[in-house]
Structures are given as structure tokens and as C-alpha cells.
Amino acid sequence: MGINMSTAPTSGRFAFPAMVTGSACLAFGPWLVRLADVGPLASAFWRQALAVPFLFALAMVLGRRQPKSGFAGSTPGLIALAALAGLAFAGDLAVWHLGIMRTTLANATLLANAATFLLPLYGLVVLGQRLTRPQWWALAVAAVGVGLLLGRSAEVSARHFAGDLLCLAAAVFYTIYLIAIEKVRGTLDAMPALALATLASALALAPLAATGLFWPQDWTPVLGLALGSQVVGQGLIVYAVRHLSPLVVGLTLLVQPAISALIGALRFGEVPGPLELLGAALVVAALLIARLPSRA
């Protein structure tokens, strides 16, 4: 039940577009966190808590239509693994939301997506995967693209250093989450797996959220986080991760900083320069290279 290591999966024909769409939905998360009128830990809690009933309802509906799509395969061990995924995701959201408030929008998104490189490293070191030449090229092109996307906002200053470290820690937690949730997906379909993990993360975040400003006056941002980021964004990613290699999953996460750069330009006047635009083009090129079929 390890992460699918094939470079050209034969199943899950919609996995790649689902992964891209899910990543695009997640790109709006940092903006919504800043718009929320609650503390960063509270916005993380509401993102999970408000998504729970929607995810369980979807899982139940799909389970009635297709018996294998429900919770029928749940065992104590599988529930424990889903809880581990949820705890890792709670850690990811907690440190990332704190980091969003302490660094630039570009840094928060890019550094939190260091899973782009941690996932292939997991495949290489833990699973013994041998990366093909196109995959090595894809990683190299992606690294250059990320560096260019950082642009003027990527300064590592004393003011941003703590936030940058928190966002890097978020990438570690998110990598653990993706690995654990993929193992759950070996038995359960996307919706029940995500519903169990989201419930676990909401329970873990509740005591942390209660330490700050908790109740929102404007529910729009936290509902946007719950429905857009968790139900739709994570739902698509949890479906896709079962069918894609760690490299493709990691590289597709780079859709987020590209969109965040556009949000920064439109909302905060952070207009990207030629180098940032070149970086976005290199990220797209890396995605295309990663999708190239390997020679037998």
C-alpha cells in the first residue's frame, strides 16, 4: 500500500487534472487565512470542523451508490492510520497558519510546498525508487523555477525568519500527511479517508484554537477555507495521490505558489517581474517533463 511509484499510471485517468485543480483550490488558502477575523489557529480549526459534516455526508452518499466507496473497509488499524494522517495535517495547518501571519504571502506558499522535494526524497530513500533522467530534470527545472518565483519577496530577513521556519515545518508535516493518507487510500476511497482524517485533525486543533480569538464575526473566509480548501481541494488531492508518483504529486503542488503570485499581484499589488514570470513558466515545464513516459 505504499505510494504508487509508477511513472505512467494506468489507472485513475482523471488523477492528474484532479491534482492540478485541487492544488489550485488550495492556493487561495493563505489569502483567506489573512481575511479571517479569528486567530490563525482558530481559522485552521474552523477549516477542518466545518468541513467534517460535508465530507461525511459525501462519503455516505457515495457509499450507498457504490458499497466499496463507503466506510465498509474501516478497521481499527485503518482508523488509527487515518487519525495519524489527521494529526499530521493538524500540525501542518497549525504551523502554516502561524507562518502565514509572520512572512510574505509568496514565502508562506512556496516554503510550505517544499513537499515538492520531500516526496521524491521519500521515494528515493525509503522506497528505493530510482528516478529516471526526465524526473531528475523535472526536479532541477522545478528548483530553478521556485527560486525565480520567490523573486523580491523571498528575502530571508529577521522579520520573516520565524515565519519561514514555520512554513518549512508545515512542509514536513504535509509530507507525512500525504504518505499516511495514501496508505489509507489503499483500502478506503477518497471521501471516507479524508472524512476520518479531517475529523481527527479538527479534534487535535480544538484545544489550540481555544487559546486565541475563536468565534468569527464574518464566516465567509472560514467557510471558504472549509469548502474550497478542505472539501474540494483536499478531496481532489486525496483522490489523485493514489494514482500518481511522489514526483508528480510534489511538482503539482507548485501550482499553488504560481496562483498565489497572481493573487498577490491583484490583491496586494505584488506585480511579478520578468524573473517571476519565467519561474512560473519553468514550473509548468517541470510538470510536463514529469509526465513524460520513461523508456523501458
Interval 64-80: pLDDT, tens = 766 555 666 667 888 89
Whether residue 285 lies inside any domain: the answer is: yes
Distance CA 275, CA 120 (A): 26
How is 153-165 classified by DSSP, letter by letter? GG---HHHHHHHH
- Spell out the residues 6+ positions from residue 94 whose beta carbon is closer than 8 angstroms to its own: 41, 44, 205, 208
Nine-digit cell string for 251? 511538482
Nine-digit cell string for 118? 520531500
Whether residue 6 lies inside any domain: the answer is: no
- Tens of pLDDT, residue by residue over 206-234, are 999 998 899 999 999 999 999 999 999 98
Residue position matching grid coordinates 473497509: 73
Nine-digit cell string for 100? 502565514
- Residue 198: count of CB within 10 angstroms of its CB: 30
Residues spanned by the domain of 138: 15-290
Residue (of 202, 207, 184, 170) closest to 91 by Cα position: 170
Whether residue 240 lies inside any domain: the answer is: yes
Distance CA 49, CA 65 (A): 26
CA distances from 142 to 30, 108, 116, 255, 285 (A): 22, 17, 9, 11, 8
| Model pLDDT, residue 79 | 87
Nine-digit cell string for 147? 527560486
Whether residue 43 lies inside any domain: the answer is: yes
Which of 77-91, 161-175, 245-259, 277-291 shows the lowest mean pLDDT across its residues? 277-291
Whether residue 2 lies inside any domain: the answer is: no
Distance CA 122, CA 296 (A): 23
- Tens of pLDDT, residue by residue over 227-257, are 999 999 988 988 888 788 777 887 787 788 7
Distance CA 61, CA 69 (A): 9
Is the predicted pLDDT of residue 3 greater than 80, yes or no? no
Q: Locate all alpha helices (DSSP H) within the chain, ordered by sequence.
A: 15-26, 29-35, 40-65, 76-100, 105-112, 115-125, 133-150, 158-184, 190-209, 220-224, 235-241, 246-252, 255-268, 274-290
Whether residue 4 lies inside any domain: the answer is: no
- Tens of pLDDT, residue by residue over 101-155, are 887 777 788 778 776 667 777 777 776 777 777 778 878 887 887 777 655 555 5
What is the domain count for the chain?
1
Where b means 16+ CB within 10 Å and e means fewer, 169-192 reads bbbbbbbbbbbbbbbbbebbbbbb
pTM for this prediction:
0.79
More confident residue, 97 or 149: 97
Whether residue 212 lies inside any domain: the answer is: yes
Whether residue 1 lies inside any domain: the answer is: no
Distance CA 215, CA 49 (A): 13
